[in-house]
């Protein structure tokens, strides 16, 4: 069986580098029925394979060394996901790492921001992410590379791999890598502790945006009390990474500080959506986001098909630099 054989290969060759996964992905792409439609577009086969590898290293390689160890592999769900690839004909049901729909969402979001299609993104591109959801201050911190060094060799530019790490952190803020990423961005002095002054620095821009949007502003003093109640830090007035990993509301805390759209959405959540989340507790924030975005992108593609009278939605993307 493919999944079993690939898993045995994986375990026997540790530690693993990114390039070591390429033969595994090539075999999956050439044999899995759920990816057969990609065989006529080798460009997208390559992008799919890269995206899967980046997702694996984002979640599994917690040491950040770009080398997967046996300890990291044992702690992860990678082996289970690879076995599921073998058993499941619908690749989109393999939510961990291998879903084509998840790849499609990531790639399309990158392509929307990369307006000149040089496969690089700068600050002005990223500030448009999520309908201008993020503050300038947090985007500056992302580009300071304090949370993660860019693999891009162009100064002031984020490459596709860097974007994959960013979007997974942004849309899965309550995951361990997401919490670590944003904690390091907020931790201005790098001492491993978030103070009220650091949180206020980021919230000030949120407050200004509320006023510009005619939203009722919430003073920082009130927000700070709310944040402390949500986190319950071990030491009064000081929030550590350990504190953030203990709470289930870490993602909301980060949204309060630098993502106004998600902050407002959380405060006015639809009871129907809350019930849906409770009915499917195994789905992550990323799973829910990717599902919503895939539906939106598919509807846009269908509408463009109708307006053009053809199915050439991907023609421009096929010309992307690979």
Cα–Cα distances (Å) from 170 to 175, 208, 230, 262, 285, in that order, read: 10, 22, 20, 11, 10
Cα angle 253, 256, 259; round to 5: 115
DSSP assignment string, 121-163: B-HHHHTTHHHHTB-HHHHHHHHTTSSS--S--STT-B-HHHH
Instruction: Show Cβ contacts of residue 210 under 8 Å, excluding neighbours closer than 6 positions.
Output: 216, 217, 218, 260
Model confidence pLDDT, tens digit, residues 189-228: 999 999 999 999 999 999 999 989 888 888 999 999 999 9
Residue 307 confidence (pLDDT): 61
Q: Which pair of structure tokens corresponds to residue 62?
A: 């917690």
Note the pTM of the prediction, 2 decimals.
0.89
Q: Which residues of the chain have pLDDT under 50?
A: 311-322
pLDDT for 312: 46
H/E stretch holding 242 reads helix 241-246
Is residue 186 within 8 A of residue 178, CB to CB? The reply is no
């Amino acid at each position: 069986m493919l999944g079993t054989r690939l898993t045995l290969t994986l375990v026997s060759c540790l530690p693993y580098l990114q390039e070591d996964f390429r033969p595994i992905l090539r075999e999956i792409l050439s044999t899995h029925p759920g990816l057969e439609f990609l065989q006529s577009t080798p460009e997208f086969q390559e992008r799919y394979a890269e995206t899967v590898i980046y997702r694996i290293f984002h979640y599994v390689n917690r040491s950040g060394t770009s080398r997967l160890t046996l300890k990291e592999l044992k702690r992860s769900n990678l082996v289970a996901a690879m076995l599921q690839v073998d058993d499941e004909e619908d690749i989109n049901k393999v939510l961990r790492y291998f879903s084509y729909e998840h790849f499609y969402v990531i790639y399309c979001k990158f392509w929307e921001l990369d307006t000149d299609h040089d496969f690089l993104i700068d600050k002005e591109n990223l500030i448009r992410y999520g309908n201008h959801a993020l503050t300038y201050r947090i985007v500056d911190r992302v580009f300071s590379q304090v949370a993660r060094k860019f693999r891009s060799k162009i100064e002031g530019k984020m490459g596709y791999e860097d974007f994959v790490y960013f979007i997974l952190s942004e849309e899965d803020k309550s995951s361990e890598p997401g919490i670590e990423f944003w904690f390091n961005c907020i931790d201005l002095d790098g001492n491993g502790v978030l103070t009220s002054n650091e949180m206020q620095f980021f919230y000030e821009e949120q407050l200004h945006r509320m006023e510009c949007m005619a939203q009722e502003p919430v003073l920082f003093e009130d927000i700070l009390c709310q944040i402390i109640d949500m986190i319950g830090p071990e030491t009064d007035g000081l929030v550590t990474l350990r504190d953030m990993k203990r709470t289930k509301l870490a993602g909301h805390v980060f949204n309060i500080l630098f993502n106004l759209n998600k902050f407002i959405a959380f405060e006015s959540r639809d009871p129907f959506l809350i019930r849906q989340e409770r009915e499917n507790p195994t789905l992550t924030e990323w799973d829910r986001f990717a599902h919503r975005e895939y539906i939106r992108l598919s509807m846009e593609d269908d509408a463009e098909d109708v307006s053009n009278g053809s199915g050439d939605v991907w023609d421009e993307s096929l010309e992307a630099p690979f």
